Structure 1
Amino acid sequence: MTDVDALERILRSAEDIPPERAAEIAARLEKTPIQEVVRLVERSTATRAAVVLRLLSRRRSIAVFDALDAAHQADLIDALGDRAVYEFFAELDPDDRVSLLDELPAEIAGRLLRTLDGSEREITGVVLGYPKGSIGRRMSPEVPHLYEDMSVDETMDKLRRVADDVETIYTLPIISRDRTLVGVISLRELFTAEGSAGVAELMAEPVFASAHDEAEETARWFLPLDILAMPIVDDSGRLVGILTFDDAVDIVEDADSEDTARSGAHEPLQQPYLSTPLLRVVRSRIVWLLVLAVSALLTVQVLDTFEDTLAAAVVLSLFIPLLTGTGGNTGNQAATTVTRALALGDVRPRDVLSVAWREVRVGMLLGALLGTIGLGLASLVYGLDIGIVIGSTLFLVCTMSATVGGVMPIIAKKVGADPAVFSNPFISTLSDATGLIVYFLIAKTVLGL
């Protein structure tokens, strides 16, 4: 058993830890690598996590709190007590503060904001001023103001003075006196240049984004550029903040986690599984289950409509799981592929016809392969007529499901919905119902029922 596992077992009775045992646990926590302490907190309930944070030194407790997801931080607010919360909140970066505030009730968020000093409240307000989902909401406004008419020596002197108060000093935006972004320069270039050289001679053309741009889209095109940070400007081209590589990674990870959860028919938990309250786990799943249960009634209605057909050829019922499963899987494959392509920018909403035509051909090829196998196997066991029904249905179901699965995420994107919401759960239900209709219509035609 590792030291962290032993600590976790002790903390299961955290409310009853005596003072002398608390000192022992605190000493062990101080010797534990910080990444293991973060893991311990993530696996603990809010009460136990609060105990861990109180037992840590101030420096380590702030570092651990900062490493947690915003939803997890919000759960800890009540358990920690006002003094600790105010201290942790003040130490967060402005963009991380805003993420936490978004998870809190308005009354608590307002109280926390009022505890900040004037300058920290002002820069946090800059980030809060941008819409949710925009890159301005995820940037850091703590960026040094370096002007194009400064020399290298002047720039380095200023960086030394402000280094502790800004987000990064490795990628540096250069601005004009009216704060318009004109270039970028790296610390390496400044460090190796002559002190008397002008910054304007060394700076490069900037790669930048507008503060109102969509956060996920911006982060996805920024990451492949392999640069450490990128300036963010307002609608007039004035510098308002900076997006760092690690913040962009967080944005993409959050988006991917959300897409994965919704593709699996539940809402994202937004914090580690074991530390998520039980009722929140239930809430993340129940709405989707109700929606899918209601939509599954379509399949029941189809079966009821073709009850006489089933009674006349009972063997048809044996193939229902095969056909519905194949249709659902085919649609899900197409939807997942296109959803991912939309997220990466490989596919745009205006490409809907190209995607539809491509998936029609993919579905036909898949259907031809599976249909041929189904025709052969079913004919050997149940006769040629049943083989033709199964083979034809597999061909049409694959073609239809692939097309629908490819198009629906694009339609969702076009109407402003989350493509993942329109993916696997709904496509499976749609494929079940329509696939059964196709199946029974072919059976009635071929078998003369």
Structure 2
Amino acid sequence: MSPAAQKPLKSVVETEKMDEVRDWLDGKPSVIIAEELHRLTPAQMAVAFRVLPKDRALHVFEYMDPPVQAELLSGLVEGETASMLRSLAPDDQAELLDEIPAKVAARLMEGLPASERSFVSDLLGYPAESAGRLMVPTPTVLAPAATREEALDKIQRNAQAQSSADDHHDSTVIDSDIAVVPVADNSRRLLGTVSLSAVVAAPTGTQIEQIMHREKFQVKASEDQEVAARLMQEADLLALPVVDDEERILGLITVDDAMEVLEFEATEDAYRSGGSEPLKEPYLKATVLTLARKRGTWLVLLILAAFLTINVMEFFESTLEAVVVLSVFVPMIIGTGGNAGAQAASSVVRALAVNEVRPSDVARVIWREIRVGFLLGMFLGVVIFPVIFWIYALPVASTISITIVAICTWACIVGGVLPLLARKLGVDPAVFSTPVVSTLVDATGLVIYFTVAGTIMADQIAAATG
């Protein structure tokens, strides 16, 4: 391996030695090249891309994120961009066309074959995150009365026609159609699906209706992509038929696209659980202004919500002045409550994501979180009681320990209920994870703390204020 091949691609491109760039690219898988291209400027990407053989370049392009694909196209000439676009499956074409200026997109669309252009136009008519935007065309739809031989002949002819339409076209459509084929009536209403393996293994003369799966796993084009992806994951499907309101077959969603949706949703949840809006582009491609804007909105909302905590502190100011030692434990109290609430919220958000719980399960979730929170609080209270008792005596130790039990129980209830409420209101449950739960529990936890202190240490507070 040459020394250049061990360096990052960016460093090699910056040397402007094309032989070293070629050596680096020749020794790396396409997916690794795509990842490294994300780290380059548009001009550098164009330089590296032109060194690749055409077939390899098209393959690498398929692995790139749409925003980065659009960035690369800005550094290529029109003939090259048209070739890149034609290499993608229709759903990926639609996603890329969304990322580039409208005039450029319209010009590139004109370079697509008529049938493909029509299908991509239809895809662009669906909402951005709908199942319809994710589907690819299904060249083969079988009739239930078709025989095994007729089905195999039709699949083969359509696969060959699809392949010859563009020698470099993404093979996803063909692979999906061969793996799983929709079965429909004369009006294209979905009746079920049949796998190629079942067709091949069937005896001569077998009709498709004898071997097809009649359980109609399907999704409407207007439904959310995540619904389709979750269904494919749960039912272990290689492809999922997409239908219109009358259940007529429109296309297929492939397993690789479904996995991309699930990955994006997981990334989106991770951002939102940290109090930030998700990025559409890779982190290093996002501008500083974009990063600040994505985070700033939530920070403004959370800092305004923090005034609740300030108001609570002001309301109990006399209690704090009477027993100053109580202020020492404020960070521990609100920190414990925030952490307990965030843990509960994370568990319920995850359970919602995989359909383990529903908003209708709110009573069961509350009862479960009450018990979990109480057990956690008891455990923590037992751990800290002897330490505080040794330093500050019984009243303070009792106050802190009882508060910990109460606040852990309350925080778990809040963390468990808020995601369910969000789902009921049509809001992403991940929004109500760590930052929101922590802010709410901070304020309410202080009310619990000072209420417990006012009850247990009433005589001490009265003596100090009297």
TM-score > 0.5 by shorter chain: yes
Q: 1:158 is matched with which residue?
A: 154
Q: 1:115 is matched with which residue?
A: 111
Give 3-state SS (helix, strand or coil) of 1:359's partner.
Answer: helix
Q: Assess if the C-alpha contact under 8 Å between 1:229 and 1:244 holds in 2.
A: yes
Q: Distance between the aligned counterparts of 2:43 and 2:431, measured in 1?
A: 34
Please tell me whether residue 250 in structure 1 is matched to residue 252 in structure 2: no
Q: Distance between the aligned counterparts of 2:444 and 2:271, measured in 1?
A: 25
Q: Assess if the C-alpha contact under 8 Å between 1:44 and 1:274 holds in 2.
A: no
Q: Distance between the aligned counterparts of 2:370 and 2:411, measured in 1?
A: 9
The letter for the 2-side match of 1:178 is S
Please tell me whether residue 3 in structure 1 is matched to residue 5 in structure 2: yes
Q: 1:200 is matched with which residue?
A: 209
Q: 2:167 is matched with which residue?
A: none
Q: Distance between the aligned counterparts of 1:213 and 1:204, measured in 2?
A: 23
Deviation at 1:61, TM superposition (A): 1.5
The letter for the 1-side match of 2:36 is L
Deviation at 1:359, TM superposition (A): 1.5
Deviations 1:186-205 (A, max 9, x none): 11122233443322232221
Please tell me whether residue 432 in structure 1 is matched to residue 442 in structure 2: yes
Give 3-state SS (helix, strand or coil) of 1:173's partner.
Answer: strand
Deviations 1:43-79 (A, max 9, x none): 3333322322222122122211211122322333423
Give 3-state SS (helix, strand or coil) of 1:242's partner.
Answer: strand
Q: Assess if the C-alpha contact under 8 Å between 2:5 and 2:23 holds in 1.
A: no
Deviation at 1:233, TM superposition (A): 1.7
The letter for the 1-side match of 2:191 is V
State the identity %: 39
Q: Map 1:131-210 onto structure 2 (within 5 A).
A: 131-163=127-159, 165=162, 166-167=173-174, 168=176, 169-205=178-214, 206-210=216-220
Q: Assess if the C-alpha contact under 8 Å between 1:123 and 1:142 holds in 2.
A: no
Q: Distance between the aligned counterparts of 1:425 and 1:311, measured in 2?
A: 30
Deviation at 1:338, TM superposition (A): 0.7
Q: 1:283 is matched with which residue?
A: 293
Bigger mean CA deviation after superposition, 296-305 or 425-434: 296-305
Deviation at 1:105, TM superposition (A): 4.7
The letter for the 1-side match of 2:295 is R
Q: 1:273 is matched with which residue?
A: 283
The letter for the 2-side match of 1:51 is V
Q: Distance between the aligned counterparts of 1:403 and 1:131, measured in 2?
A: 36
Q: 1:86 is matched with which residue?
A: 82
CA shift in 2, pair 1:133/1:350, >3 Å? farther
CA RMSD of aligned residues (A): 2.2
Give 3-state SS (helix, strand or coil) of 1:230's partner.
Answer: strand
Please tell me whether residue 211 in structure 1 is matched to residue 221 in structure 2: yes
Q: Distance between the aligned counterparts of 1:310 and 1:2, measured in 2?
A: 65
Q: Distance between the aligned counterparts of 1:288 and 1:225, measured in 2?
A: 36
The correspondence for 1:302, drawn from 307, 312, 321, is 312
Bigger mean CA deviation after superposition, 306-315 or 23-32: 23-32
Q: Map 1:216-365 onto structure 2 (within 5 A).
A: 216-365=226-375
The letter for the 1-side match of 2:212 is M
The letter for the 1-side match of 2:5 is D
Q: Distance between the aligned counterparts of 1:193 and 1:129, measured in 2?
A: 40
Q: Distance between the aligned counterparts of 1:97 and 1:114, measured in 2?
A: 13
Q: 1:58 is matched with which residue?
A: 54
Deviations 1:106-158 (A, max 9, x none): 44444433432321111112322333332222121234122223222222222
Please tell me whether residue 446 in structure 1 is matched to residue 461 in structure 2: no
Q: 2:429 is matched with which residue?
A: 419
Q: Distance between the aligned counterparts of 1:433 and 1:106, measured in 2?
A: 48
Deviations 1:225-269 (A, max 9, x none): 223222222221211111222111111111011001110121222
Q: Distance between the aligned counterparts of 1:195 and 1:27, measured in 2?
A: 52
Bigger mean CA deviation after superposition, 346-355 or 378-387: 346-355
Q: Assess if the C-alpha contact under 8 Å between 1:179 and 1:239 holds in 2.
A: yes
Q: Assess if the C-alpha contact under 8 Å between 1:262 and 1:268 holds in 2.
A: yes
TM-score by structure 2 length? 0.88
Bigger mean CA deviation after superposition, 327-336 or 140-149: 140-149
Q: Assess if the C-alpha contact under 8 Å between 1:172 and 1:187 holds in 2.
A: yes
Deviations 1:155-199 (A, max 9, x none): 222222221524421111112221111222211122233443322
Give 3-state SS (helix, strand or coil) of 2:414's partner.
Answer: helix
CA shift in 2, pair 1:278/1:63, >3 Å? farther
Q: Distance between the aligned counterparts of 2:302 and 2:428, measured in 1?
A: 17
Q: Distance between the aligned counterparts of 1:177 and 1:31, measured in 2?
A: 51
CA shift in 2, pair 1:6/1:403, >3 Å? closer
Q: Distance between the aligned counterparts of 1:278 and 1:80, measured in 2?
A: 26
Number of residue equivalences: 443
Bigger mean CA deviation after superposition, 119-128 or 202-211: 202-211
Give 3-state SS (helix, strand or coil) of 1:141's partner.
Answer: coil
Deviations 1:341-387 (A, max 9, x none): 11111111222222222222222222222223333321221011101
Give 3-state SS (helix, strand or coil) of 2:183's partner.
Answer: strand
Q: Distance between the aligned counterparts of 2:120 and 2:102, measured in 1?
A: 15
Deviations 1:318-356 (A, max 9, x none): 211111111111110111111111111111122222222
CA shift in 2, pair 1:277/1:395, >3 Å? same
Deviation at 1:2, TM superposition (A): 6.9
The letter for the 2-side match of 1:201 is Q
Q: Distance between the aligned counterparts of 2:370 and 2:56, measured in 1?
A: 56
CA shift in 2, pair 1:433/1:34, >3 Å? same
